[in-house]
Structure 1
Amino acid sequence: MSRRMPAFLKYLIVGILNTTVHVVVFAALLAAGNDQALSNLVAFVAALSFSFFANARFTFRVPVSLMRYCVFVAGMGSLSASLGYIADSQGWPPPLTVGLFCLVSLPLGFVFSRWVFTEKRTWIFR
Structure 2
Amino acid sequence: MKAIWSGFSTYALVGLANTLLHWQIFFVLRVAIGLDQSTSNLAAFCVAASFSYYLNALYTFEAKHSVTGYVVFLCVMGVLSYAVGYLGDRWRLHGLLTVAVFSLLSLVFGFLLSRFVVFRGHRP
Query: What secondary structure sits across from 1:97 in the alignment?
Result: helix
CA displacement, residues 89-122 of structure 1 (integer Å, 9 cap, x when unaligned): 11001000011111111111110110211137xx
* Unmatched 5+ stretches in structure 2: 1-5
* Unmatched 5+ stretches in structure 1: 1-5, 121-126
Count of matched residue pairs: 115
Query: What secondary structure sits across from 1:119 in the alignment?
Result: coil
Which structure would you say has the larger Rg? 1
- The CA distance in 1 between the partners of 2:85 and 2:58, in whole Å, is 29
- How far apart are residue 81 of structure 1 and its match? 0.6
CA displacement, residues 66-92 of structure 1 (integer Å, 9 cap, x when unaligned): 111101101110110110111101100
- For residue 13 of structure 1, what is the aligned residue in structure 2? 13
Query: What secondary structure sits across from 1:64 in the alignment?
Result: coil
- The CA distance in 2 between the partners of 1:85 and 1:48, in whole Å, is 19
RMSD, aligned CA: 1.0
- The CA distance in 2 between the partners of 1:65 and 1:112, in whole Å, is 14
Query: What secondary structure sits across from 2:102 in the alignment?
Result: helix
- For residue 121 of structure 2, what is the aligned residue in structure 1? 119
TM-score calculated relative to the size of structure 1? 0.88
Query: What secondary structure sits across from 2:93 in the alignment?
Result: coil
Matches within 5 A, 1:1-126: 6-30=6-30, 31-115=32-116, 116-119=118-121
- The CA distance in 1 between the partners of 2:75 and 2:10, in whole Å, is 23
